[in-house]
Structure 1
Amino acid sequence: SGASDSTHRVSIRDRLLTKEVAELEANLPSTCKASFPDENKLHHFQLAVSPDEGYYQSGKFQFEIDVPEAYNMVPPKVRCLTRIWHPNITESGEICLSLLREHSIDGTGWAPTRTLKDVVWGLNSLFTDLLNFDDPLNIDAAEHHLRDKEDFRNKVQDYIKNYAR
């Protein structure tokens, strides 16, 4: 019955996704664009974020979003495909965003009540409101900002020129 359980989970996930993707597309931030390489596989898509303010303005950052079978009991898996100098995103693409965390103690983590729209708005906010230098994943970037904001901005701009166009 393992296979039928899995099929059942996938059909629950895919039903949720049909609804959530429609909701997402109706409520995308103006700075975001979602693309689905395969319309039959809504569980795998890319998000491009083009911030219109702040340090990352003028960059275009690609994220890959994979929605596991156990969704929405577990959060989507998200990676940043664009190399970036950011306190909450490593250069290899790992992301620190509390709502993508399972079993978060402070209640800000993943919950089945959250949707893809929350994930996309959260990723979009990493470039503005949720840009967090106090609890960094990329400690070097956070310390760089603390040490010299102007030089930090320059390095961010260099990365944008080289990787985020």
Structure 2
Amino acid sequence: MITLRGKLKKSAEVGNTKPRDFNKRISVRDKLLVKEVQEMEQTLPNTCQATFDNPNRLHEFNLVIIPDEGYWLGGKFLFHISVPEEYNMIPPKVKCITKLWHPNINEDGDVCLSILRQSSLDGMGWAPTRKLKDVVWGVNSLFTDLLNFDDPLNKDAAEQFSKDKETFKNKVREYVNQYARR
């Protein structure tokens, strides 16, 4: 099993980092993330891939989603996930890097998903019992069954869907072809 203390000690031994006091207090977040990242990687949906630019910074990673059904089929969407120091009392921050036409993701990349809210009207907001795998599965589900046109972040996309589904579908395809081609 990988431990953060073990990773840091091994890095120091091979000269990758400055010597550290390994008895120094490791944050609760970092202790949780060692286990949660392993669990997340073992349970990733087949449409997702998580990548870490720096394996010593488990609190910053990218998630690639390649939907295998629905409106966004054929696209490849990149999300950046940042886990704050106050985790697990505060949810991770998720930003969509790929521009897309979606009712729950605006063109700035902000994501509207109950699990990412401190408190939500539907009672499905963040709770300390939630884990990274829940966030990944939730973001992935925005491309299938959690698609929500009733509480949109991108009101124009939701309105377009309700008025003319074919025009909505065409605009989604246009965005996929322009910004999210595999």
Q: TM-score range by the shorter chain?
A: over 0.9
Residue in 2 that maps onto 1:93: 109
- Cα distance per residue 1:17-54 (max 9 Å; x no partner): 00000000000000000000000000000000000000
CA distance in structure 2 between the partners assigned to 1:123 and 1:75 by the alignment: 13
Residue in 1 that maps onto 2:152: 136
- Cα distance per residue 1:78-121 (max 9 Å; x no partner): 00000010000000000100000002243200000000000000
- Cα distance per residue 1:59-83 (max 9 Å; x no partner): 1110000000000000000000000
- Cα distance, 1:147 vs. partner? 1.1
CA distance in structure 1 between the partners assigned to 2:122 and 2:64 by the alignment: 29
Q: 161, 170, 179: which one pairs with 1:154?
A: 170
Percent identity of the aligned residues?
64
**Max Rg structure:** 2
Residue in 1 that maps onto 2:65: 49
Residue in 2 that maps onto 1:65: 81
Q: Which runs of 5+ in 1 are unaligned?
A: 1-6
Could you state the TM-score of these two structures normalised by the residue count of structure 1? 0.93
CA distance in structure 2 between the partners assigned to 1:151 and 1:90 by the alignment: 18
CA distance in structure 2 between the partners assigned to 1:84 and 1:24 by the alignment: 25
Q: 3-state SS of the aligned residue for 2:64?
A: strand
Q: 141, 147, 152: which one pairs with 1:125?
A: 141
- Give the total of aligned pairs: 158
CA distance in structure 1 between the partners assigned to 2:44 and 2:159 by the alignment: 32
CA distance in structure 1 between the partners assigned to 2:93 and 2:153 by the alignment: 16
Q: 3-state SS of the aligned residue for 1:15?
A: helix
Q: Is 1:16 aligned to residue 32 of structure 2?
A: yes
CA distance in structure 1 between the partners assigned to 2:86 and 2:166 by the alignment: 44
CA distance in structure 2 between the partners assigned to 1:104 and 1:147 by the alignment: 27
Q: 3-state SS of the aligned residue for 1:145?
A: helix
Q: Which runs of 5+ in 2 are unaligned?
A: 1-23
CA distance in structure 2 between the partners assigned to 1:157 and 1:106 by the alignment: 31
Q: Cα distance 1:139–1:105, how it changes in 2: closer, same or farther (>3 A)?
A: closer
- Cα distance, 1:11 vs. partner? 1.7
Residue in 1 that maps onto 2:99: 83
